[in-house]
Amino acid sequence: MGHDIRLTASDHFELGAYRADPEGAPKAAVVVVQEIFGVNHHIRNVCDRFAAQGYVAIAPSIFDRIEPNFQCGYSPDEVAVARKFVANPDWPAMLRDTQAAIDAVSDVGPVGIIGFCLGGSIAYGAATKLRGLTAAIGYYGGAIVRFADDKPTVPTQLHFGENDSGIPLSDVETIKTKRPELELFVYGGAQHGFGCDERASYDRPSADLAKQRSLAFFAKHLVKP
């Protein structure tokens, strides 16, 4: 359903991306922002699933500045390697590359953004700093608490796992306190990565409910005039 494309950021850096288009006329577009594992099989599947729902979906390869075409799975060794990419994250560069993806699908209609793990934090940052978005969704973004003083300019929905070892509930409470206007959900018993059906931490009931809420959120906000 999807194919690889190239994007150009505002600083002229070229990066890869995966784009999936629906069979019929698209109702809107969604930028899908990766975890630390690159635009891998799971992220491509997320794009394909959005395309099946009638959206153009695009996932920029935001690690291309460090290692082009990087992608991996979820074994302990692969996780250890992937974590090196975010030891000192270049947030402005990742946002520039995300903006390039937004711009690439802006002709479709309203554009939403959804991100997971690292991508959840980027989706929140995009909601506060980037142009061309209509709605944003972030899943278990560990850095969101650091950015919570920045107010999103578009409707934003956040999802967290109750038992996420990397995101304490105190961080979630801080976000709630600073940004009470957001839709924020905590999933009982769920761990980090609960929404990825290729990870050991996958929690199907939580993932299904979060997906239902996400699709309803986009259906509400990504509406063509």
- Catalytic annotation, residues: 117, 164, 192
For residue 76, what are the CA distances in angstroms to 38, 64, 168, 195? 16, 22, 22, 18
* Neighbour count for residue 132 (Cβ, 10 Å): 17
For residue 78, what are the CA distances in angstroms to 71, 158, 164, 195, 221? 9, 27, 19, 19, 36
For residue 176, what are the CA distances in angstroms to 127, 149, 159, 192, 204? 16, 11, 12, 19, 25
Q: Answer whether 34's CB lies under 8 Å from 70's CB.
A: no
| 3-state SS, residue 32 | strand
